[in-house]
Amino acid sequence: MATRSPEDIEAFCRRAQDHWSKDGRRTQVRDILSRVVAAQAAPFSADELRTQARRIDRGISYASIYRTLGSLVEAGLLREIVGPNDRRCYTLIDSTHTGVSHIVCTDCEQVVPMNDDCLPLREGFLARQLGFTPRKMSLRIEASCEELRQHGACARRKQKEP
């Protein structure tokens, strides 16, 4: 599984703290949540964030999680995407990729990012040909897992935590 570098984690946390310091809403809970969010190398749900954050502070509530996620989306640090079973998932905004594209596996219940710089170029060109100026672009593909179909198991499938 891919991991994020300590430098990337620190940079994300600094941007989040700067955002919250401006509006006076920086708290210890938000600092904990921003660190857990910053460490995510793959899209995640609020439930997954809660499980990981509660290993650090058992008192973190869903209300704090959803307010923090909303604030990070508003700050342009996270993007909300539609994951498996239409569940909201979140992914860090990567400044090197202008669009967001994901495959949502209906078998593994995973969200797999597709970082292809050509997709936004092609889709943006098509939008302009049709008379539109693209502002934001996303592509969501729902698919079945070939690995699961062929082998009966999938290495991507997340294990349910107790």
In the chain, domain spans: 6-85, 95-151
pLDDT band at 81 (very low <50, low <70, confident <90, very high): confident
pTM: 0.71
Mean pLDDT over 115-135 rounds to: 81
Considering only CA atoms, which of 140, 159, 68 is closest in space to residue 102?
140
Considering only CA atoms, which of 75, 10, 85 is closest in space to residue 47?
85
Domain 6-85, CATH number (from 1.10.10.10, 3.30.360.10, 2.60.40.1180, 3.40.190.10): 1.10.10.10
pLDDT band at 86 (very low <50, low <70, confident <90, very high): confident
Considering only CA atoms, which of 16, 42, 18 is closest in space to residue 30?
16
pLDDT of residue 55 exceeding 70, the answer is: yes
pLDDT of residue 1: 45
Q: Which residue has the higher pLDDT, 105 or 32?
A: 32
Residue 56 Cα distances to 10, 35, 45, 66, 81, angstroms: 17, 11, 18, 17, 26
pLDDT band at 99 (very low <50, low <70, confident <90, very high): low
Domain 95-151, CATH number (from 3.30.1490.190, 3.30.9.10, 2.70.70.10, 3.40.225.10): 3.30.1490.190
Mean pLDDT over 49-62 rounds to: 95
